Amino acid sequence: MALLDSSTGKLIRDYSIEELKDSAKLMRGYDLVALCAAGSGHAGGTLSIMDVTAALYLKIANHDPANPQWPDRDRIIWSGGHKAPSLYLGLAFAGFCKPQDVMLLRKLGSAFQGHPHWLKLPGVEVSTGSLGQGLSIAVGVALAGKLDDKTFRTFCIMGDGEQQEGEVWEAAMEAAHYKLENLVAIVDYNRLQIDGTVADVMNIDPLEEKYKSFGWDVVRINGHDMAQVLDALSVNRVGSAKPLLAIAETVKGKGVSFMENVAGWHGKTPNHEEMIQGLRELGLLDRVPYASLLEYAEQYQQQATRELNAKMPHFRRDYWWNHSIIMSAKMEPTRAGFGRALAQNGDDERVVCLGLDISGSITISEFYAGKPERKKRWISMGIAEQSATAAAAGLAREGKLPVFGTYATFAAARNLDQIRTSICYGNFNVLIAGAHGGVSVGPDGATHQALEDLFAVCGLPNMSVVVPCDSIETRKATTHLLLKLQGPKYLRFAREATPIVTTETTPFVFGQANIIRLRKVVNEFAEAFETQLSSAYRNESEDLTIIACGPMVPEAMRAAYILQQEFGWETRVINMHTLKPIDEDAVIRAVKETGMIITAEEHQIGALIWRVSGIITSSPSLYGVPVITGAVGVRDRFGESGAPWELIKEFGVSADG
C-alpha cells in the first residue's frame, strides 16, 4: 500500500522498484535546484536520505494527498528537520504540492521553511529542527494510535549524529517500555556531521547493540538499495511487541561526486555551476527544467521584495546600509570577535573549550586553529547541549575556565535547567556563547532564531549578560568575561555581517553603557559618531534617547542619522552592551535629560525594555518625572525563513521600520 484514495481505499498509483529508483534520482535533481535557488541549506543529508524518502512517500506509507489529515494515514516525522527539502520533495512527488513549489525553499513568506512547520504546509506532520526531539514526538503519536485503537504506523527519520542527544535515548526507553510495535525509527547513517566524522566528534557505536539492549528490533540496510529499504520498512510488525530501528547506511551527498563523503557539504549549497555539474552527473540535465525552476523562484523573490519594500516608510533619500557613498559602513559578523578573543587568550592553561558541532560557524574552533598544543583542551561533546552544560560546571568546579556555545536557542533554552542548577546555583565560572541570536540568523527559520534567550538568562541569579554591538566589542567582551569576571556569564552575538561601529580605542567597561552621538556626516559611518562612557558624558538636551544592545546599536545609530536629516531631531544613543548588571544611572539620566526613551532589541520585546522600565518605575529620583517610552523588537511571534536583512525589515527591527 502507499498512495491511497482515502474515500475509496483504492491505490492511486503502485510504483515498481525501478520507478522508485528513478523518482529518488529525480528528487535529488530537484533538490540541487531548490538548494541553489535558496542559497543556503543542507545538501549532504538531503541527498543521502532520498532513497528512503522515495520509498516512504511513494510506496510504504499509507496517505492521501487529497486528504492530508486522513485519521488513518501513516505518520512520517522528520526529527532531522534540516533535511526539509527531502520531506518537501517526498510530498511533491506524492502529489501534496507541485515540485516547482519546493523552489521557494527558505524564501520569505514561503510555506517551505528552512525547517518544516506543519502549520504552513499540508502533509508535514510536526514542526521540527531542534535535533533529538522527533523520536519523543513519534512516541507520543504512536501511543495516541494505540489509545485510539488505530492501526497506522509512525515513522521517525533521524540522523546518526543526532543520536548524541540524550533525549533520543529517553524516547528509546519509552518506546520499548510501551511495546510500540507501531513505531519505526530510521537512522540516516552517513557517518558525517558538521564538525567531521561522527566517530571523531562523539562516537555513537555500537548503535545496533545499544538499541537492542533497550528492547528494540534492529535491522541494518543499505539505504541506497531500494529493495532492501522496501523489505525492511514494509514488514508487518503486529504482534512483535517491539519498536523497529532501521539503520540505513548511506553516503552523504549521494549521487554528486564532489559532495559525496565530504563533511563540508553538510550545511552548504551548490552554486549554479555546481548545480549544473550535479545534474549532469545524475543524468538529469535534460530531465529537470532547472532554468524555468530558477526563474519561478526568482519571480517569487522579486514579488516578496516588492511587498516587503511597500511596508517600509519612505524618506527623501535612501538611508539603507551602503546604498550611498556617504555614511558607508564596513561589515563583519560579530561572531568573528568571539573567535579572535579565544585565539588571543587561549594560551591560559585554564581555558577549556567545548565543541557542540557547529564549532566553525560560531568560531569557537579558532581557539585551537593553527595551535595544535591547545587541542588537548578542546573537548568535542557532539550534539549534546544539556550534558555539555553540566560538564562545563564540573570543569569549573576543578578550576578550569570552560567556554561552550551553540545557536543561542540551544545554548540557553534546551539546557536551561542545567544552566540554572549546575552553573548558576553553584556560581561557577562558565562562559556561555549564545551564538546566532535574533531573526538575522535568516533562512534556517524559527527553530534556529533565538528570540527568547535573554528572558531566560537575565532571570537567573548570579548570571552576567553581555550583548556586544559589533565584532570589535565582541572581542573585548569575550576577553573580559573569560579572564576578568568570576561567575556564570552569557555572551550573545549574531551570525550575519553587521556594521563595525567601534574601534580599538572605543571604551568598553563591563556594566557601564556607552553614549553615542552623531557629530557629522562623512563617508565612513563609524567616523560620524562620537562615543563616550556614560559616566563621562555631559547632557546635550537631546530630543530623545534610544537604548539598544547588540546589532540594534548600529540600527539605533542609523535611526539617529535619519531623524536628524529628515526631522532635525537630536538623538542620544545608549549602547547598553551589558544587560546584567544594567547601567541604571545611564537610564535615569536619559529620562531626566531627554524625557523620551525608546529601546531597541533583536529579541522578543521585553528583555531590554522591561529592565529599563523597571529602573524608571522604581527609582525615587524619577517619581513625578514625565517620560514617554516605546519599544522596538519582535512582537510576540516566532521567526521564519528569509534572508537576514529581509527579516530585519519584516520584523520591524531596522532603523527605517
Spatial separation of the C-alpha atoms in residues 153 and 138, rounded to whole Å: 10
Q: Residue 272: pLDDT above 90?
A: yes
Give the amino acid at 495: R
Q: In this structure, are residues 526 and 497 in contact, taking their beta carbons and an 8 Å threshold?
A: no
pTM of this prediction exceeds 0.85:
yes
What is the SS3 assignment for 163?
helix
Spatial separation of the C-alpha atoms in residues 166 and 148, rounded to whole Å: 29
Spatial separation of the C-alpha atoms in residues 231 and 229, rounded to whole Å: 6
Q: And the C-alpha cell for 409?
A: 536557542
- Look at residue 1 in the predicted model and tell me its pLDDT: 62
pLDDT digits (tens, 9 = 90+) for 552-567: 999 999 999 999 999 9
Q: In this structure, are residues 81 and 116 in contact, taking their beta carbons and an 8 Å threshold?
A: yes
Please give the backbone phi and psi of residue 341, each rounded to the nearest 5 degrees, phi first.
Answer: -65, -40
Beta bridge partners of 402: 352
Averaged confidence pLDDT in the chain: 98
Cis peptide bond N-terminal to 206, omega within 30: yes
Q: What proportions of the chain, in percent to the nearest 5, are helix, strand and coil?
A: 40, 20, 40
CATH 3.10.450.240 assigned to 4-291: no
Q: Residue 259: pLDDT above 70?
A: yes
Q: Residue 349: pLDDT above 90?
A: yes
Spatial separation of the C-alpha atoms in residues 553 and 601, rounded to whole Å: 9
Q: In this structure, are residues 159 and 218 in contact, taking their beta carbons and an 8 Å threshold?
A: no
Q: In this structure, are residues 406 and 435 in contact, taking their beta carbons and an 8 Å threshold?
A: yes
Spatial separation of the C-alpha atoms in residues 211 and 239, rounded to whole Å: 19
Parallel/antiparallel/unpaired status of strands 10-11 and 4-5: antiparallel
pLDDT digits (tens, 9 = 90+) for 280-339: 999 999 999 999 999 999 999 999 999 999 999 999 999 999 999 999 999 999 999 999
Fold classification of 332-499 is: Rossmann fold (3.40.50)
pLDDT digits (tens, 9 = 90+) for 512-550: 999 999 999 999 999 999 999 999 999 999 999 999 999
**What's the DSSP call for residue 57?**
I
- Look at residue 592 in the predicted model and tell me its pLDDT: 98
**Chain position carrying cell 534540516:** 82
Please give the backbone phi and psi of residue 57, each rounded to the nearest 5 degrees, phi first.
Answer: -80, -25
Q: Residue 221: pLDDT above 70?
A: yes
Q: Comparing C-alpha atoms, which of 512, 400, 396, 385 is closest to residue 453?
A: 385
> How open is the CA angle 18-21-25, to the nearest 5 degrees?
140
pLDDT digits (tens, 9 = 90+) for 150-183: 999 999 999 999 999 999 999 999 999 999 999 9
Spatial separation of the C-alpha atoms in residues 545 and 563, rounded to whole Å: 12
Domain boundaries along the sequence of the chain: 4-291, 332-499, 511-650
Spatial separation of the C-alpha atoms in residues 387 and 377, rounded to whole Å: 18
- Look at residue 611 in the predicted model and tell me its pLDDT: 98
Please, where are the H alpha helices in 450-544? Answer: 453-458, 471-483
Q: And the C-alpha cell for 14?
A: 503502485
Q: In this structure, are residues 279 and 288 in contact, taking their beta carbons and an 8 Å threshold?
A: yes
CATH 3.40.50.920 assigned to 511-650: yes
Q: Comparing C-alpha atoms, which of 253, 155, 154, 163 is closest to residue 207?
A: 163
Spatial separation of the C-alpha atoms in residues 576 and 600, rounded to whole Å: 10
Query: What average pLDDT score do residues 357-372 get?
Result: 97
Query: What average pLDDT score do residues 269-281 get?
Result: 98
For residue 623, count other CB atoms closer than 10 A to its CB. 8
Strands (E) across 457-576 are located at 464-466, 489-492, 497-499, 514-518, 529-533, 544-548, 571-575
Q: Residue 37: pLDDT above 70?
A: yes
First to last CA, the chain: 53
Q: Which residues of 533-567 are buried (b: 16+ CB within 10 A; e: fewer)?
A: bbeebeeeebebbbbbbbbbbbbbbbbbbbbebee
- Look at residue 2 in the predicted model and tell me its pLDDT: 85
HEC profile of 566-592: HHCCCEEEEECCEEECCCHHHHHHHHH
Spatial separation of the C-alpha atoms in residues 465 and 483, rounded to whole Å: 15
User: What long-range pairs does 94-101 form, CB within 8 A, spacing at least 24?
Assistant: 94/3, 94/57, 94/58, 94/63, 94/65, 94/123, 95/3, 95/12, 95/65, 95/66, 96/65, 96/68, 96/122, 96/123, 97/121, 97/122, 97/123, 99/30, 100/292, 100/293, 100/296
Q: Comparing C-alpha atoms, which of 340, 269, 229, 261 is closest to residue 42?
A: 269
- Look at residue 295 in the predicted model and tell me its pLDDT: 98
Q: In this structure, are residues 498 and 438 in contact, taking their beta carbons and an 8 Å threshold?
A: no
- Look at residue 543 in the predicted model and tell me its pLDDT: 98
C-alpha 627, offset from chain centre: 37
Res. 384 pLDDT band, cuts 50 70 90: very high
pLDDT digits (tens, 9 = 90+) for 399-456: 999 999 999 999 999 999 999 999 999 999 999 999 999 999 999 999 999 999 999 9
- Look at residue 369 in the predicted model and tell me its pLDDT: 97
Rg, the chain, Cα only: 26
Please give the backbone phi and psi of residue 254, each rounded to the nearest 5 degrees, phi first.
Answer: -50, 130
DSSP for 232-282, please give it.
HHS---TT--S-EEEEEE--TTTT-TTTTT-GGGTT----HHHHHHHHHHH
